[in-house]
Structure 1
Amino acid sequence: MDCVRIGGGAGFAGDRFEPAEALARDGELDDLVLECLAERTIALGQQRRLADPSAGYDPRLVARFERLLPLCAARGIRVITNMGAANPLAAGRVTADLAGRLGLGLTVAVVTGDDVLDRIDPSAPALETGRPLAAHGELVSANAYLGAEQIMPALETGAHVVLTGRVADPSLFTAPLAQRLGWDLRDASAMAAGTVAGHLLECAGQLTGGYFADPGRKDVPGLAELGFPYADVTADGDVEVSKLPGTGGLVSRATVREQLLYEVTDPAAYPTPDVTLDLREVTVAETGPDRVAVRGAVGRARPEKFKVSVGYRAGWRAEAGISYAGPGARARAELAGDVVLRRLAGTRVRADVLGAEGSPECRLRIAASAADRAAAEVVCHEVEALYTNGPAGGGGVRTAVTEVIGIVSTLIDRDRVEPAVTVIGGHACG
């Protein structure tokens, strides 16, 4: 192929479904990528899997695929996604079963091997703190950021859907671009172009104005009907990003430049599993309405190690709130906060009152961290007790206790990671 059109159909696990449906229906795509995984997302997935071995994949997988798979199957669009999260094989089985129920007969290829909890050294230092990993708490997850090289065998099966766990976000795009355009994965220039395309598309609506919008400073039209982006990428590495006509949002030099630098701490050396990306010579030019060309990315050798996201048990969080209404609402809410702080002296707790002086209603918010669930529940109990222990007129108590999964990072040698591909169901496409 000389040019591939690839769409960004999700930027996180909670993203909207409709913009991806529009891309699948009207975008004339070759591939649709759904990027639904973050560091905390996969750690929480591991937590769910510990409680239920059949769980751990994206909880919205079925709802999202029920709407997208029929559209993509009818148009020959391949789907690549990291909705496998902490349990890619279970996600693959669920997807194949769903496709069967929908009468689609699709093949699903699952990439595994990113789970390296049994392969990391607990005494290795965390990149963020320099302390040994095990010193942070009980380790519950460790997922290596796989790259295009590890995704490629799944694409080469001819599967209609490729499901992964933890991979680097841009690699979800770089791999299908390389496979369709015939790029050598060791060609740093090609990997730089693919990584730029992937980095721009990976957050979906951020590129089309969602995270860009700031009324009066950076106005974005039609935000309620925000469209998601796609990119046309040539074999020579030229990238042009756009969105569907008639959808809300905008693609401009400004939105592209903002997304280009998103999460990039060093524009001269942004490491991914596929390439070390240098953005200093990148040019961004508007070539038409909602259409921007991006060129000039430079690639250097990929890092020798994989980054690993490590989750650990970091205690418990208590959140509770109570409202006060009528004259003196703020003063009563502040008094309630003082009461809770006095009764919880020695606990890591804070109190905030939402609502200005003179407001007809104010709400006290209490947040605390605790070493165990029982201590966190004491915090919530103290807020609930305000109902009858004063001050007057409190109501609408809401409480929540949740376990906190902390996240740190480390590195692992590439040869310590053993990726694999499992093909499930249906029949492969040409």
Structure 2
Amino acid sequence: MTVVIGCGAGFSGDRTDAAGPLVDALLGYDAPRALMFETLGERTLAAAQLRRVQNPEGGDEPLLEAFLAPVLGDCLANDISVLGNFGAANPGAACRRIAELTSAAGFAEARLAVIEGDDVRERLGELDWTAWEGERRELPDAARVVAANVYLGAEPLIEALAKRAQVVIAGRVADPSLALAPLCHHHGWAMDDWDRLAAGALAGHLIECGAQVTGGYFADPGVKEVPGMAELGYPLVEVERDGRLVVTKPAGTGGLVTEQTVKEQLLYEIHDPAAYVTPDVILDLTGVEIRQIGRDRVAIHGVRGKPAPSRLKTTISFLDGHQGEAEISYAGPNAAARARLARDTLRERLARRCPPDLRMRFDLIGVSSVFDGDEMPWRESSRSTVEDVRLRLAVEHARREVVELATQELLALYCCGPAGGGGVRRHHEPRLKTASFLVPREQVTPTVVLNRGGEA
């Protein structure tokens, strides 16, 4: 038996019309089918927690309706399971919004499941914390913590599907688990069948970033050409009971699925190819074989699995001072030189007027940006023919008034020179930082709340 899963979003802010072609393609399969939406990053979740503080009914995925409304009716009518971490900081609120969508689509009695238990902010003092291997910070003070969310695995999602949930709404679950859950549900894989679980987690990893595996993030003109970028097809993965899988995309859509696109996604965000850790299984990718078997069809096999980790990763987001940025443009002849003079003038002013612990960075966008210009003087020693340069200042400090003073100094360049500056913008906000810690698996107790039409 084959199980087919599509991914309609790879992050919050992704294209909202991508799921339509996926659902059309899923309707052509005579097999169990699921559609997943991966919309949650670590800072995305922290921002969602802040929105929930401002509005108790906020904190879920802002584009929820745009993602789901065009396809939800077809999914419900054709037994296509929908799973997503679009609950973010408020899965309950997302459930209520989805219930309105199901009702509008004519399915007022749709079965919705909410996964709870990832949010452990109120339990910081009672859990046994250890730092993740790459973490150098200490556990933040609870008063500064905005979000603390454990990466849940597939088990509560599998439980929800076993209870015949048609839409599964989660907060922080591991991205691959959104695909692994329907695979375990339909194939009947045991939660200690490590090779099969590894294959399912790999399937999820390959499609979790949406169009990255179908050419989007792969494209590089003149080096790696990708057709139809404006209408990229999002990925589908076909997974057999024995763990063999094929990555493809809807026919007639843009983009491409090749050995190269799959290899790039395979290694995306991988620390150790022999031990890629997920809550469900540890993947050994060193023996994976990838083979093109047709147009936009790539087969993958050979992944091995190791027992799941005893501790689960938890992302803790906390407030730590304030940050600000400001920009001003210089155009015309000698623009780069005038922008450099503005930068040097501003640096001197900040040294005079701001505390020495102000952290700052300057970018000459169009001449020296993305990489730190201060560390690459060769860029500025060459004669520039750029005639449109934007000077960006970024600052960070414990006190907001210091940040505001620093960006005001850039604003003052309007008349303090050099010549021709304009288009200033300024922005200030609290500084959110993240830290990664581990918590014992047995201390985390996810639950499944089954709803019908939004009512528990």
TM-score interval for Structure 1 and Structure 2 normalised by the shorter chain: over 0.9
The aligned residue for residue 378 of structure 2 is none
Bigger shift: residues 373-382 or 55-64? 373-382
Q: Aligned equivalents of 2:387 and 2:287: distance in 1?
A: 55
Q: CA deviation at 1:325?
A: 2.4
Gaps of 5+ in 1: none
Q: Aligned equivalents of 1:135 and 1:124: distance in 2?
A: 13
- Give the secondary-structure state (helix, strand or coil) at the position aligned to 2:101: helix
Q: Aligned equivalents of 2:423 and 2:66: distance in 1?
A: 32
Contact 1:329/1:361 (<8 A) preserved: yes
Gaps of 5+ in 2: 368-383
Bigger shift: residues 203-212 or 133-142? 133-142
5 Å-filtered alignment, 1:3-402, equals: 3-28=2-27, 30-105=33-108, 106-121=110-125, 124-127=129-132, 128-134=134-140, 138-345=144-351, 346=356, 347-355=358-366, 357-402=384-429
Contact 1:137/1:313 (<8 A) preserved: no
Q: CA deviation at 1:53?
A: 1.9
Q: Which residue identity is paired with 1:423?
A: L
Q: Aligned equivalents of 1:377 and 1:192: distance in 2?
A: 50
| TM-score normalised according to structure 1 size | 0.94
Q: Aligned equivalents of 1:96 and 1:285: distance in 2?
A: 42
Contact 1:10/1:16 (<8 A) preserved: yes
Q: Give deviations 1:72-91, integer Å, cap 9, x for gaps.
A: 23433111000001111111
Q: CA deviation at 1:25?
A: 2.2
Q: CA deviation at 1:130?
A: 4.1
| TM-score normalised according to structure 2 size | 0.89
The structure-2 alpha-carbon separation of the partners of 1:69 and 1:326, relative to structure 1 and needing over 3 Å to count, comes to: same
Q: CA deviation at 1:138?
A: 2.0
The structure-2 alpha-carbon separation of the partners of 1:280 and 1:123, relative to structure 1 and needing over 3 Å to count, comes to: closer
Bigger shift: residues 222-231 or 25-34? 25-34
Q: CA RMSD in A?
A: 2.0
Q: Which residue identity is paired with 1:25?
A: D
Q: Which residue identity is paired with 1:329?
A: A
Could you tell me the percent identity over the aligned residues? 47
The structure-2 alpha-carbon separation of the partners of 1:411 and 1:188, relative to structure 1 and needing over 3 Å to count, comes to: same
Contact 1:152/1:179 (<8 A) preserved: yes
Q: CA deviation at 1:96?
A: 0.7
The aligned residue for residue 408 of structure 1 is 435
Q: Give deviations 1:70-117, integer Å, cap 9, x for gaps.
A: 332343311100000111111111111232233332221110100112
Contact 1:123/1:133 (<8 A) preserved: no
- Equivalent residue pairs, number: 427
The structure-2 alpha-carbon separation of the partners of 1:292 and 1:358, relative to structure 1 and needing over 3 Å to count, comes to: closer
Q: CA deviation at 1:184?
A: 1.1
Q: Aligned equivalents of 2:418 and 2:128: distance in 1?
A: 51
The aligned residue for residue 381 of structure 2 is none
Contact 1:23/1:244 (<8 A) preserved: yes
The structure-2 alpha-carbon separation of the partners of 1:270 and 1:361, relative to structure 1 and needing over 3 Å to count, comes to: closer
Bigger shift: residues 357-366 or 43-52? 357-366
- Give the secondary-structure state (helix, strand or coil) at the position aligned to 2:123: coil
Q: Aligned equivalents of 1:80 and 1:398: distance in 2?
A: 40
Q: Give deviations 1:252-295, integer Å, cap 9, x for gaps.
A: 11111111111111111111111111111111111111101111
- Give the secondary-structure state (helix, strand or coil) at the position aligned to 1:224: helix
Q: CA deviation at 1:326?
A: 2.8
Q: Aligned equivalents of 1:26 and 1:178: distance in 2?
A: 22
Q: Aligned equivalents of 1:288 and 1:337: distance in 2?
A: 54
